[in-house]
Amino acid sequence: MKSVQGIAIYVLWLRELKRLLRAKSRLMGTLLMPLFFLAFLGMGFQRTAIPGVPPGMAYSVFLTPGILGMSILFSSTFAGLSVIWDREFGFLKEIMVAPVNRISIVLGRIAGGITTSLFQALAILAISLILGFRPRQWIMLLPGFLFMVLISVTFIGLGLAFASRMRDMQGFNLVMNFVIFPIFFLSGALFPLNSFPAWVRFISRFDPLTYGVDGLRAALLGKSDLPLLLDLGILSACALLSVLIGSWLFENSEYV
């Protein structure tokens, strides 16, 4: 029975990967927007003194971890759209009547979402290296990768939670845009949070992406507002809570 559950997770993971590789327009679309932010904001503010950016650090370097977080946020959250798409065309009903438990289905979707979002984030990281970005130590790419995984898990769970309660693809897009843009702008991905008013900094503490971006900067740049272990602990808790809520809502939704 365990092998059946493992096969179900693998098949759903492989399906998401194939969908990404076959949809060239989707792949290009998810890469272009973060690259535009990285290139144009980085170049536009290259000679500008940004309050809060560590002295001697180019803004494009400071910006890179934020753009990585942005890419993972958008791709992970919209992974929930595949749930609505599969429901619309009957695939979800077919896998629900298969002899596998729903936890395996959730894990397969999460695994697929993590793989696709990390693929896109690593592609952006590779391009940023070509543009001149360098981590403070190459070995610190490993904890940076861990933060990327935790960001992805957190927002895949969020997307799954919303998708489990929605039926319309257009409505999902509108709602998720309304949710993820405040999350993105409050995270400090584009500008240092210590340059914002105190009430904005207070609200940002409730944003999981704040700890993801800060953790990426701590790992890759050695500069952060919070200790690395604190970022890791809070983001890990957010990832666990998000997956539990998303899985529970998925298991108890009406369409199965």
pLDDT digits (tens, 9 = 90+) for 118-163: 888 888 888 888 877 888 888 989 999 999 999 999 998 888 888 7
The answer to whether residues 123 and 31 touch, using CB atoms and an 8 Å cutoff, is yes
pLDDT over threshold 70, residue 196: yes
Do you know the residue count of the chain? 256
| Mean pLDDT confidence for 107-125 | 86
pLDDT over threshold 60, residue 2: no
Number of neighbours of residue 178 by Cβ within 10 angstroms: 9
Residues 53, 29, 180, 211, CA torsion sign: negative
Q: 188: which DSSP letter?
A: T
Helices 2-22 and 102-130: angle between axes, nearest 10 degrees: 40
H-helix or E-strand spanning residue 42: helix 42-44
pLDDT over threshold 50, residue 256: no
CA 58 to CA 55: how far, in whole Å?
8
pTM of the prediction?
Answer: 0.87
Where in the chain are the domains?
Answer: 2-251
